Amino acid sequence: MSRNMVTALVVLCLLVGFKGAEFLYTKVVEDVVGVDGQDWEERQLTNRKGIQTLKIGDSLLHVTDNMGTADFNEILPNSDVPLQVLYYRTQRAHEDGLTTKDECTPLVFENQTLIGWGHEYLASVVN
């Protein structure tokens, strides 16, 4: 832990008490390391490796068992069947400590079956 971080925690302890500083420290660690214990670089690499193993036709259950929890999950209306899109973080675009959809690879499912992935593919089936 850096000297600045320790100093900040000491000041926080004095200002808000130990419990408040502990809460804030926990939030900082979760944002930097992630709730699953991986930092953002490890998570991105793990997700890219997982995506490389995907095949068209994989079930939603198979994908989520192998990839884990998606960063975002949404249902998009489509002409006949709604599409489910899971977004997994795969590249850093902003140095703000937050994960946004443009830092993720979308996986597109129809009837709980993987039909494709990537931003270009998603745009082709939505438009």
In this predicted model, what pLDDT tens digit does every residue of 55-73 receive, in sequence order? 999 999 999 999 999 999 9
Q: Which residue has the tokens 């192998």?
A: 66
Indicate the pLDDT class of residue 38, thresholds 50, 70 and 90. Answer: confident
Q: Which residue has the higher pLDDT, 109 or 2?
A: 109
| Distance (Å, whole) CA 85 – CA 123 | 12
Indicate the pLDDT class of residue 30, thresholds 50, 70 and 90. Answer: very low
User: What angle do helix axes 40-52 and 60-67 make, rounded to 10 degrees?
Assistant: 140
Q: What is the mean pLDDT of the chain?
A: 82
Indicate the pLDDT class of residue 74, thresholds 50, 70 and 90. Answer: very high
pLDDT at 47 exceeding the cut of 60: yes
Domains and CATH numbers, the chain: 1-33 (no CATH), 38-126 (3.30.1450.10)
pTM comes to 0.69
Write out the two tokens for 125: 């089936």
In this prediction, residue 94 carries a pLDDT of 81
Cα 94 to Cα 40, 85, 119, distances in angstroms: 12, 22, 18
Listed residue (62, 63, 82, 66) closest to 74, CA to CA:
82
Q: What is the mean pLDDT of residues 22-40?
A: 56
Contact 107/114 with Cβ under 8 angstroms?
A: yes
